Amino acid sequence: MNEILEKIAEAVNSCLGPLKDLKVTGSDIRDLLIQLCATILLFVVVRVFLWKPITHILETRRQAIDQALEDAKNSKENAKVLEEELADELAKAKASVQEILAKAERDGNVKREQIISEAKEEAKQRLENLEIELEQEKNNMQKEIRKEIVDIAFAAAEKIVAKEIDQDKYMDVVDEILKGA
């Protein structure tokens, strides 16, 4: 036993440096054995009475932490899935808006072209109606002018016939007719 204690003392000396006056006595061995028995007894008491409750508490806490980590992982995955779904829906909504805007622009262009076409057609129709009216007015004026010319010619012929046909008188009558007209 002394030999073991001396080896322990050598190990302590090599680790901590030389200890002065280290003498191993019987009371030291007895104190060491009591300390060793107390430590073993403490380990046995802890192992028998406290080990299961402590390990149970630690295991329960570990399971709660594992469950929380698993829930966080699942929540993160669900959040990623939701984010992807929302991104897809947003992209679809943007595409839908672009499509609606493009359709509205096409419809607007068609409507604009239709309005312009209708306005041109109406202007063309009004112009044709105006030309027809002007042609009718022109024809009416020509008829009136012809009628007046015929009336004037008839009046001139009456006056010429009523008077003698003389060159000087004929010229006077024509001048008179022209002045009267």
Using 50, 70 and 90 to split pLDDT, how confident is the model at 65? very high
Average pLDDT on 135-159 reads 81
pTM of the model: 0.39
Q: What is the DSSP string of 57-78?
A: HHHHHHHHHHHHHHHHHHHHHH
- Model pLDDT for residues 154-172, shown as the tens digit of each residue: 777 777 666 556 667 767 7
Tokens 């419809």 sit on residue? 107
Contact 178, 168 (CB under 8 A): no
State the residue for tokens 């806490």. Answer: 61
CA-to-CA separations, 120 to 107, 112, 116, 125, 133, in angstroms, rounded: 20, 12, 6, 8, 19
**Cα torsion through 114, 120, 124, 130, rounded to 10:** 120
Confidence at 2, pLDDT banded by 50, 70, 90: confident
* Torsion 161-165-169-174 (CA) sign: positive
Q: What is the pLDDT of residues 66-114, one digit of tens each?
A: 999 999 999 999 999 999 999 999 999 999 999 999 999 999 999 999 9
Closest among 158, 164, 160 to 173, alpha carbons compared: 160
Asked if 177 and 156 touch (Cβ cutoff 8 Å), the reply is yes
